């Protein structure tokens, strides 16, 4: 069965290294076709009756795409119409090598039973393996391998199908390859010609990616960008230090500027500034690029201007003008110069399908249009479609195919339509897609792992759990909360101490490791709360019913029980799986009311009061240690029950009970973190919050200085204290503003695996160790922590992945990513609803504070709505008012009025719907009155202010 063949590979890594690997050729690799009787395949994938109706090839046939077709036309291959495709191993390997995302997608397609895709391991097949000939490039060899495999298939299938010939069609876009294949008597088509011939679905044509062959006619001959270096030269350049490798981050506010983050070693990250389209040189956000640094004299400082690529449709002179003007600014003196450079090559593209809208061409019947992505960091994309008329006003998804050096914009193709723009459903869909939030309904496979209803607590459950049903447990949550994952109790013990219990929903009881339900939850990572919508991490049956600790039902819980004295000193901790029966589900307000109302004296209230008392002590202790109290404006919408439109907006109020629940959750988390770390020093999932680098506090210093206050940032404690002291009598909101600013200086807290890191400190909470334990219904990290804790107290057994620190670390990375994305999605949802709200409200005048001062704009926070907006002092078409910026303050002086940070201003707020893609809240200054800049109170036509928008 085994045919051995040894071949020699040479690679260069430092010196010449001869690598010898074995390569076995087999004669038991089957063709995978139903018709074939020779092959002893047990479950053939390819159908005998392979019918894709095509005018080019009438008889049934199988498709063999080559590498480039798979790479570029993956959207086509994913279409349900395309079936019975043979993916050669050669192709799959090349795809894997070139693009991880496409590889993932093609693998998903192959796994889809309906699609009848078959992977043929041609490299190990006795008759289709070929050796690279002398002088033949690796690519040519692979092309030849593909042809040989296709040839083998067509010969093989002819043998088997006497009556109705089953053909094999090779799809390639390479002309030379096509010719050579034809010489061998193969049936070859170019991908686009084949797709166009399909009878089934003419719309597929739109999804065809533009390939290099077609690029020439779409753009002018003018070369806009310099050529990218070939990969070999990039690698050489990186090795000898001439070039640097990093990830490109486009600037959200300024399309002509971006930075490349270069990871030099473990911790050290340098930023390289890129300015101007030529220097960015076709890099798209998140691409891995090679940069060349300019000599030091050419270094510049980043401009804090806001510039958006709103240029008209066609290639334009105006564009150059804008850029020239921009570059003029660049040459002006800058104070802090940053390393500046240019992109010389792309190491890895990180393109994904982008959501956005079509900006239709002015010429009717044109098929080429520009597409404007919703993400401002992504350049506009040129696509070809015949459905422009129908697509206008819709949100669509587009994939980039390439960016030729002669083109101002990248070329792409239409993937699918998401729905009408502005529509709540569509917009939600868009923001979920844009933030990569998995939001499909749970699959049958996942649901099959749910417990069967009606579900009851069984005898076995009771045997291994402590019965705590007699305890007076209650839960305190925000109003309308259905996924209650924590409940509390307290009672006085006979010895005078107090027993406090935190009971967390025992989700890990229902979600067993490794099954589809667990995998789905791990993938989702967190429940995402949008305004008026919740994307669950686990199916609703669990999240809102079986796991939710509702009142007066028996529920399984994981309890953490402390014995404390009256000074809130922990004397004893106990973790146990339990059964509880919550006596009441309260809202924060209800709980607060019970505590405050001296007339109520039932068990629940007594317990709450006791908890509240302890919480205050705990909080005091924590603050003493240097825990920060930060602030960020949070808003709540009152949603109309019928239309689901927001009708009112209010900032969230914080009550004592909020902090009471929070205190005990923190205590539980810290206790659990310590316990699991003690038990599993290598693989405990913990959460850390690194202390921010001192430089990030600059803005906070300056802001405080402007009010003659000093903020100390030597330690968390110093910061907390100085924040507490930084109050101005006449300006009560000042402290909150400072705290908002301080929040922005902070680093992101992250999950990590204890075996992979040494710094565990949680800066914000001033705790040496921390984890998440208390919300397993909505966070996957908590489920893992539950499992670890369960093992630690011998209530459950381990499983392999739980003990594997690398797998844990990978899981943490995913969770961090999902959390970040969920936050962004949440913010985006709030922003969208704010817009909806103002759309209904019309124009409002409101007071606000300056949060940041930029070079040509000020950013204003409206505390009432928790809303931030920008007021520009500069625009293209109108002579801008005289303004000067001082970065020391920072202050901005416009027409003799100087804006400081935290200045109180009055603005008028309205919705700017002129650009349907980026509808935004527009703010215009009312007070202070600056002639030519501010607008009159109540003016409803502020068009003059922003003429560039109503094009």
Partner 1 sequence: MAGLELLSDQGYRLDGRKAPELRKVQARMSVFAQADGSAYLEQGNTKALAVVYGPHETRGSRSKSLHDRAVINCQYSMATFSTAERKRRPHGDRKSSEMSLHLKQTFEAAVLTQLYPRSQIDIYVKILQADGGNYSACVNAATLALVDAGIPMRDYVCACTAGFVEETPLADLCHVEESGGGTSLSLALLPRSGNIALLQMDARLHQDHLDTLIEAAMTACKGLSKVLDSVVRQHLKEVSVLTRD
Per CB under 8 A, the segment of 16-24, 244-252, 361-369, 905-913 that binds partner 1 is: 16-24
Q: 262: part of which helix (H) or strand (E)?
A: strand 257-263
Counting contacts by CB under 8 A, is residue 937 touching partner 1? no
Residue 895 backbone dihedrals phi, psi, to 5 degrees? 45, 50
Q: Among residues 732 and 800, whose Cβ is nearest to partner 1?
A: 800
920 touches partner 1 (CB under 8 A):
no
User: Should residue 799 be labelled a site residue for partner 1 when binding is judged by CB under 8 A?
Assistant: yes
Nearest CB to partner 1, comparing residues 19 and 654: 19
Quick one: 747 or 803, whose CB is closer to partner 1?
A: 803
Among positions 655, 803, 935, 949, the unique one binding partner 1 when judged by CB under 8 A: 803
Draw the binding track, 91-120, toward partner 1 (x: CB under 8 A; -: no contact).
-----x---x--x---x--xx-------x-
Q: How far apart are CB 643 and partner 1 at their closest, in Å?
A: 46
Please state, in angstroms and rounded to a whole number, the distance separating the CA atoms of residues 651 and 867: 10
**Region of 773 on the Ramachandran plot (φ > 0 left; ψ -120 to 50 alpha; else beta):** alpha
Residue window 33-72: x/- pattern of binding to partner 1, with contact defined by CB under 8 A: ----------------------------------------
Task: Name the residue nearer to partner 1 (CB basis): 89 or 279.
Answer: 89
Would you count residue 361 as binding partner 1 (CB under 8 A)? no
* Burial of residue 110, with CB atoms counted within 10 A of its CB: 0-12 exposed, 13-18 middle, 19 or more buried: middle
**Angle, CA of 915, 920 and 923, to the nearest 5°:** 120
The secondary structure of 823-870 as a DSSP string is HHHHHHHHHHHHHHHHHHH--EEEEEEEEEE-SSEEEEEETTTTEEEE
**Per CB under 8 A, 153 contacts partner 1:** no
Nearer to partner 1, 18 or 470 (CB): 18
Residue choice 17, 199, 223, 936 for contact with partner 1 (CB under 8 A): 17
Nearest CB to partner 1, comparing residues 24 and 731? 24
Stretch that binds partner 1, among 23-31, 353-361, 566-574, 685-693 (CB under 8 A): 23-31
Whose Cβ is closer to partner 1: residue 119's or residue 915's? 119
CA separation for the pair 899, 891 (Å, rounded): 5
Site pattern 804..843 for partner 1 (x: CB under 8 A):
x---------------------------------------
Quick check: 918 binds partner 1 (CB under 8 A)?
no
Taking the alpha carbons at both ends of the chain, their separation in whole angstroms is 72
Give the three-class secondary structure for 3: strand
Q: How far apart are CA 61 and CA 83, in angstroms?
A: 10
What distance in Å separates the CA atoms of residue 351 and residue 74, rounded to the nearest whole number?
Answer: 13
Q: By CB under 8 A, name the one of 9, 24, 650, 724 that touches partner 1.
A: 24
Interface with partner 1, residue 798, by CB under 8 A = yes
Asked if residue 287 binds partner 1 (CB under 8 A), the reply is: no
Query: Under rule CB under 8 A, how many of the chain's residues touch partner 1?
Result: 30
CA distance 310 to 304: 18
Choices 1-9, 53-61, 141-149, 885-893 (CB under 8 A): range interacting with partner 1: 1-9
Q: How far apart are CA 171 and CA 753, in angstroms?
A: 46
Question: Which residue of 163, 241, 800, 931 would you call a contact of partner 1, by CB under 8 A?
Answer: 800
Report if residue 124 touches partner 1, rule: CB under 8 A.
yes
20 binds partner 1 (CB under 8 A): yes
From the list 12-20, 227-235, 650-658, 882-890, the region that binds partner 1 by CB under 8 A is 12-20
Distance CA 107, CA 99 (A): 12
Structure tokens at 543: 């999240």
Name 33's Cβ contacts closer than 8 Å, sequence gap at least 6: 39, 44, 46, 48, 62, 118, 157, 160, 166
Least CB distance to partner 1 at residue 880 (A):
49
519 binds partner 1, rule: CB under 8 A: no
The verdict on 132 binding partner 1 (CB under 8 A) reads: no
DSSP string, 98-150: H-HHHHHHHHHHHH-GGGTEEEE-GGGBTTT--PPPTT--HHHHHHHHHHHHH
Measured CA to CA, the distance from residue 281 to residue 848 in angstroms comes to 40
Kindly tell me which of 26 and 904 has the beta carbon lying closer to partner 1.
26
- 21 contributes a contact to partner 1 by CB under 8 A: yes
Nearer to partner 1 (CB atom), residue 41 or residue 461: 41
Burial label for 379, CB within 10 Å (0-12, 13-18, 19+), is: buried
For partner 1, which is the closer residue by CB, 26 or 523?
26
Tokens 């926070």 map to which residue? Answer: 861
CB of 129 to partner 1, least distance (A): 9
Shortest distance (Å) from residue 14 CB to partner 1: 9
Nearer to partner 1, 25 or 466 (CB): 25
User: What's the min distance (Å) between Cβ of 100 and partner 1?
Assistant: 5
Q: Which is nearer to partner 1, 108 or 182 (CB)?
A: 108
- Among the listed ranges 24-32, 234-242, 770-778, 914-922, the one in contact with partner 1 (CB under 8 A) is 24-32
| Residue 160 binds partner 1, judged by CB under 8 A | no
Using rule CB under 8 A, residue 268 touches partner 1: no
* Measured distance CA(122)–CA(146) in Å, rounded: 8
Min dist. Cβ of residue 2 to partner 1 (A): 6
Q: Are strands 528-530 and 533-535 parallel, antiparallel or unpaired?
A: antiparallel
89 binds partner 1 (CB under 8 A): yes
| Helix, strand, coil % in the chain, rounded to nearest 5 | 35, 25, 40
Least separation in angstroms between residue 781's CB and partner 1 is 21
By C-beta, is 131 or 653 nearer to partner 1? 131
Question: For residues 30 and 248, which CB has a smaller minimum distance to partner 1 in the complex?
Answer: 30
Cβ atoms of 140 and 163 within 8 Å: the answer is: no
- Does residue 23 bind partner 1 (CB under 8 A)? yes
Residues with Cβ within 8 Å of residue 404, at least 6 apart in sequence: 212, 215, 219, 411
Pairing of strands 498-505, 891-894: unpaired
- Beta-bridged to residue 203, according to DSSP, are none
Distance in Å, CB of 412 to partner 1, minimum:
24
Q: Is the dihedral of CA 890, 894, 898, 899 positive or negative?
A: negative
- Sites for partner 1 among residues 449-468 (CB under 8 A): none
Q: Is 123 in the site for partner 1 (CB under 8 A)?
A: yes
Q: Alpha helix locations (H) across 397-475?
A: 424-434, 444-447, 459-464
Tell me how far, at minimum, the Cβ of 338 lies from partner 1, in Å.
31
β-bridge pairing 750-753 and 685-688: antiparallel
**Closer residue to partner 1 (CB): 574 or 805:** 805
Which two tokens mark 581?
């029966």
Residue 373 host element (H or E): strand 368-373
Residue 193 CB, nearest distance to partner 1 (Å)? Answer: 31
List beta partners, residue 292.
243, 342
Minimum CB separation of residue 145 from partner 1 in Å reads 14
Select from 211-219, 694-702, 796-804, 936-944 the region that touches partner 1 (CB under 8 A).
796-804
Secondary structure letter of residue 654 according to DSSP? -
Q: How far apart are CA 46 and CA 86, in angstroms?
A: 8
CB nearer partner 1, residue 238 or residue 647: 238
Interaction site with partner 1 (CB under 8 A):
2, 4, 6, 17-26, 89, 96, 100, 103, 107, 110-111, 119, 121, 123-124, 798-801, 803-804
């Amino acid at each position: 069965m085994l045919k051995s063949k040894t071949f020699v590979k040479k690679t260069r890594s430092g010196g010449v290294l001869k690598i010898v690997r074995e390569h076995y050729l087999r004669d038991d690799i089957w063709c995978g076709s139903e018709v074939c009787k020779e092959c002893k395949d047990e479950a053939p994938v390819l159908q005998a009756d392979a019918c894709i109706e095509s005018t080019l090839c009438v008889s049934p046939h199988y498709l063999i795409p080559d590498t480039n077709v798979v790479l570029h036309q993956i959207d086509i291959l994913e279409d349900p119409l395309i079936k019975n495709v043979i993916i050669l191993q050669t192709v799959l390997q090349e795809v894997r090598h070139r693009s991880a995302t496409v590889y993932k997608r093609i693998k998903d397609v192959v796994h889809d039973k309906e699609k009848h895709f078959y992977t043929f391991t041609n490299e190990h097949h006795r008759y289709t393996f070929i050796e690279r000939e002398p002088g033949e490039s690796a690519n040519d060899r692979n092309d030849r391998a593909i042809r040989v495999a296709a040839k083998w298939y067509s010969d093989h299938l002819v043998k088997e199908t006497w009556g109705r010939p089953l053909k094999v069609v090779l799809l390639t876009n390479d002309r030379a390859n096509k010719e050579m294949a034809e010489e061998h008597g193969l049936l070859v088509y170019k991908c686009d010609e084949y797709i166009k011939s399909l009878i089934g679905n003419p719309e597929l044509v739109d999804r065809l990616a533009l390939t290099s062959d077609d690029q020439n006619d779409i753009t002018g001959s003018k070369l806009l960008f310099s050529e990218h270096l070939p990969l070999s030269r990039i690698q050489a350049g990186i090795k000898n230090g001439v070039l640097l490798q990093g990830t490109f981050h486009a600037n959200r506010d300024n399309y002509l500027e971006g930075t490349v983050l270069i990871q030099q070693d473990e911790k050290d990250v340098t930023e390289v500034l890129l300015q101007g389209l030529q220097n960015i040189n076709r890099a798209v956000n998140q691409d891995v690029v090679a940069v060349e640094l300019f000599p030091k004299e050419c270094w510049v400082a980043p401009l804090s201007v806001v510039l958006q690529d709103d240029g008209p449709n066609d290639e334009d002179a105006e564009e150059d003008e804008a850029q020239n003007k921009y570059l003029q600014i660049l040459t002006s003196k800058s104070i802090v110069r940053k390393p500046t450079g240019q992109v010389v090559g792309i190491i890895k593209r990180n393109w994904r399908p982008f959501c956005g809208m079509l900006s239709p061409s002015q010429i009717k019947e044109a098929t080429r249009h520009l597409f404007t992505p919703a993400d401002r960091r992504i350049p506009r994309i040129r696509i070809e479609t015949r459905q422009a008329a129908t697509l206008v006003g819709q949100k669509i998804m587009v994939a980039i195919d390439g960016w030729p050096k002669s083109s101002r914009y990248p070329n792409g193709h239409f993937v699918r339509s998401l729905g009408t723009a502005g529509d709540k459903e569509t917009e939600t869909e868009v923001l979920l897609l844009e933030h990569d939030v998995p939001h499909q309904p749970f699959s049958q496979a996942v649901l099959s792992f749910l417990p069967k209803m009606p579900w009851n607590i069984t005898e076995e459950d009771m045997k291994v759990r402590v019965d705590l049903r007699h305890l007076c447990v209650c839960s305190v949550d925000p109003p309308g909360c259905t996924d209650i994952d924590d409940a509390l109790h307290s009672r006085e013990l006979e010895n005078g101490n107090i027993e406090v219990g935190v009971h967390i929903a025992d989700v890990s009881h229902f979600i067993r490791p490794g099954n589809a339900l667990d995998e789905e939850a791990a993938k989702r990572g967190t429940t995402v709360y949008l305004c008026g919508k919740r994307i669950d991490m686990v199916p609703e049956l669990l999240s809102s019913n079986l796991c939710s600790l509702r009142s007066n039902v028996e529920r399984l819980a994981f309890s953490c029980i402390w014995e404390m004295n009256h000074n809130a000193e922990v004397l004893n901790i106990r973790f146990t799986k339990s059964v509880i029966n919550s006596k009441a589900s309260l809202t924060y307000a209800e709980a607060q009311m019970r505590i405050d109302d001296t007339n109520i004296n039932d068990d629940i209230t007594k317990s709450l009061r006791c908890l509240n008392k302890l919480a205050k002590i705990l909080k005091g202790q924590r603050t003493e240690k240097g825990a920060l109290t930060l602030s960020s404006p949070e808003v709540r919408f009152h949603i109309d029950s019928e239309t689901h439109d927001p009708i009112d907006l209010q900032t969230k109020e914080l009550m004592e009970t909020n902090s009471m629940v929070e205190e005990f959750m923190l205590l539980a988390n810290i206790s659990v973190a310590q316990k699991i770390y003690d038990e599993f020093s290598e693989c405990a999932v913990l959460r850390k919050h690194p202390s921010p680098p001192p430089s990030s506090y600059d803005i906070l210093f300056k802001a405080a200085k402007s009010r003659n206050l000093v903020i100390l940032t030597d330690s968390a404690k110093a910061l907390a204290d100085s924040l507490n002291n930084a109050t101005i009598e006449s300006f009560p909101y000042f402290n909150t503003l400072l705290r908002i600013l301080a929040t922005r200086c902070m680093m992101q807290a992250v999950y990590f695996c204890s075996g992979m890191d040494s710094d565990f400190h949680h800066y914000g909470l001033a705790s040496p160790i921390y984890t998440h334990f208390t919300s397993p219904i909505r966070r996957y990290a908590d489920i893992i922590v539950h499992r670890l804790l369960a093992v630690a107290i011998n209530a459950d057994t381990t499983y392999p992945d739980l003990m594997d620190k690398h797998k844990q670390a990978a899981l943490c990375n995913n969770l961090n990513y999902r959390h970040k994305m969920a936050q962004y999605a949440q913010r985006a949802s709030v922003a969208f609803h704010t817009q909806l709200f103002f759309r209904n409200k019309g124009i409002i005048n409101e007071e606000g504070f300056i949060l940041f001062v930029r070079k040509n704009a000020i950013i204003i926070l409206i505390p009432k709505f928790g809303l931030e907006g920008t007021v520009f002092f500069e625009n293209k078409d109108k002579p801008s008012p005289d303004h000067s910026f001082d970065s020391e303050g920072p202050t901005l002086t416009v027409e003799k009025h100087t804006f400081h940070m935290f200045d109180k201003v009055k603005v008028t707020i309205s919705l700017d719907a002129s650009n349907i893609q980026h509808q935004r809240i527009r703010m215009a200054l009312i007070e202070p009155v600056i002639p030519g800049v501010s607008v009159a109170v109540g003016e409803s036509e502020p068009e003059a202010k922003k003429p560039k928008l109503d094009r």
